[in-house]
Amino acid sequence: MTASTRLTLLTRIGFATRGLLYIVIALLVIRTGRSEDTSGALRYLGQGGGQILLGIMAAGLIAYGLWRLADAAFDIEHHGTDRKGALERAGAGISGVVHLLLAWQAIQLMRGTASASDGTQDGAQAALALPGGQAILIAAGLILLAVGVVQLVKAAKGSFLRYLEPQIASQAWARWSGRAGYAARGVVFLISSVFILRAGLEERASEAGGTAAALSWLTSPVDIIIAIGLFAFGLFSLIEARFRQLHDVPIDRIVAGATGGR
């Protein structure tokens, strides 16, 4: 088995991990009214799942993050070179970084050194401390806004189905779980982008917020509706874990290029 094939197999675990995290987020809202983001869902699973589950999830998240970054850099999913393709590759890059940070948090949980602080606000604070930090934070909000719009467009067009094996893409349960999931994520991203833009404009990191803040901001029954959509996204991620057509990352070619073919 080549390194590319092993990374692809671990990436499927990453899709499954993403699905599990979104299912936990949704169930916490529906059953308890508690709002969490993927980091909070990871901490929740870590409390009851132990070291083995966290280790498996960390490995999957690392592979998924690297696969997303490779897609951003080398267009392995064939997004194209037009504006839409460039935006999808930028989104893949952001997703890759986010999931690698999530993997690091899983490792910290295994070591017992994880922090329970708000990652979005911490990131906003770090950005504002940099030269031009306000512009960086505003740019991040605008990018998240664009990604949220892309999620809604995917939900409307069903373009996510092109990545699935054809016999699964034609199934109504795959189509509608994906549509509900992408629509819910789009709404959450749009709300989060407003929080981040406000944090940038006002130069106040405390105004920033991610998925947990967005779900807390929503009132009943809208929060339950969005949570059901996120549950559907979790299910669709599990479908992708098994039936998504994944292109191998050309690891050998990348290494050869980096080393001059030695």
Cα(259)–Cα(110) distance, rounded to whole angstroms? Answer: 35
What's the pLDDT at 9? 87
User: Domain limits of the chain?
Assistant: 3-258
Phi/psi region, residue 118 (left: phi>0; alpha: psi -120 to 50; beta: rest), is beta
Cis peptide before 131 (omega within 30 of 0): no
- Please write the tens of the pLDDT for every residue from 224-239: 999 999 999 999 999 9
Taking the model in full, what pTM does it have? 0.89
CA distance linking residue 12 with residue 64, whole number of Å: 8
* HSE-CB of 128 using CA atoms within 13 angstroms: 19
Residues 115, 7, 72, 75, Cα dihedral to 10°:
-170
pLDDT of residue 25: 96
The model's pLDDT over 143-153, given as tens digits with 9 standing for 90+, comes to 899 889 989 99
Residue 38 clears pLDDT 70, i.e. is over it? yes
pLDDT of residue 1: 64
Whether 216 shows a pLDDT value over 90: the answer reads yes
How far apart (Å, rounded) are the C-alpha atoms in residues 152 and 35? 22
Using the predicted structure, report yes or no on whether residue 247 has a pLDDT greater than 80: no
Structure confidence at residue 34 (pLDDT): 93
Percentage of residues in the chain with pLDDT exceeding 70? 92
pLDDT at 117: 66
Of the candidates 55, 13, 44, 216, which has an alpha carbon nearest to the alpha carbon of residue 120? 216
What are 117's two structure tokens? 């602080």
The mean pLDDT value for 243-257 works out to 71
pLDDT given at position 113:
72
184/85 Cα distance (integer angstroms)? 22
Token digits for 77? 């999913």
In the numeric block, the tokens 């990436």 are attached to 11
Q: Are 141 and 135 in contact (CB under 8 A)?
A: no
- Asked if the model's pLDDT at residue 123 lies above 90, the reply is no
Percentage of residues in the chain having pLDDT higher than 90: 60
pLDDT in tens, 156-175: 999 999 999 999 999 999 99
3-state secondary structure the chain: CCHHHHHHHHHHHHHHHHHHHHHHHHHHHHHHCCCCCHHHHHHHHHHHHHHHHHHHHHHHHHHHHHHHHHHHHHCCCCCCCCHHHHHHHHHHHHHHHHHHHHHHHHHHHHHCCCCCCCHHHHHHHHHHCCCCHHHHHHHHHHHHHHHHHHHHHHHHHCHHHHHECHHHHCCHHHHHHHHHHHHHHHHHHHHHHHHHHHHHHHCCHHHCCCHHHHHHHCCCCHHHHHHHHHHHHHHHHHHHHHHECCCCCCHHHHHHHHCCCC
